[in-house]
Amino acid sequence: MNRLFALAFAALSATATAAIAEEPVTYAFDGSFDDATFALENAIIGQGLVIDFTSHVGEMLNRTGADVGSAETIFDQAEIYLFCSAVTSREVMEADPMNIQHCPYGIFVTEAQGEVMIGHRAYPDDTMSPVRSLLTGIVEEAGGTR
């Protein structure tokens, strides 16, 4: 029984590590951080979607660095825009109800060392391809280029 548990745990750990190791899908943005966030907000709204929350990750990291013993600046600026699509969410959750774990969807904008980037999480499962298409369309409309 312990051997079976050990094998199951090893398989689960490998799967979790693989999921965590997914590289995000990133696009260069030719312009300022403010231009990128403005373009992204307009692209999301232009799809008829509502931005539920904007996470000011860069501000938080810069504000708390000294508190956690770090002097490293990770991003000059970084924000994550969270939103959902009723149409796309229904489609992917009808295909697999556990796709609920991916909602809401997020697109981030970062600026580091003078480079602005827009990106989103990579979704490896075929049932999430409608979300990949939605996010790719939004980022490309905002001016992100590969």
Which DSSP category does 69 fall into?
A: T
What is the rounded distance in angstroms from the CA atom of residue 18 to the CA atom of residue 21? 5
- The CATH architecture assigned to 23-145 reads 2-Layer Sandwich (3.30)
Which of 2-16, 40-54, 64-78 is predicted with the least confidence, judged by mean pLDDT?
2-16
What is the rounded distance in angstroms from the CA atom of residue 56 to the CA atom of residue 89? 25
Per-residue pLDDT tens for 72-120? Answer: 999 999 999 999 999 999 999 999 999 999 999 999 999 999 999 999 9
- What pTM was estimated for this model as a whole? 0.83
- For the chain, the structural domain boundaries read 23-145
Q: Is 138 exposed, middle or buried (0-12, 13-18, 19+ CB in 10 A)?
A: buried
Pairing of strands 115-120, 105-112: antiparallel
What is the rounded distance in angstroms from the CA atom of residue 99 to the CA atom of residue 108? 20
Distance of CA 33 to CAs 65, 76, 134, 140, Å? 21, 9, 22, 16
Beta bridge partners of 118: 27, 109
Per-residue pLDDT tens for 15-39? Answer: 444 455 589 999 999 999 999 999 9
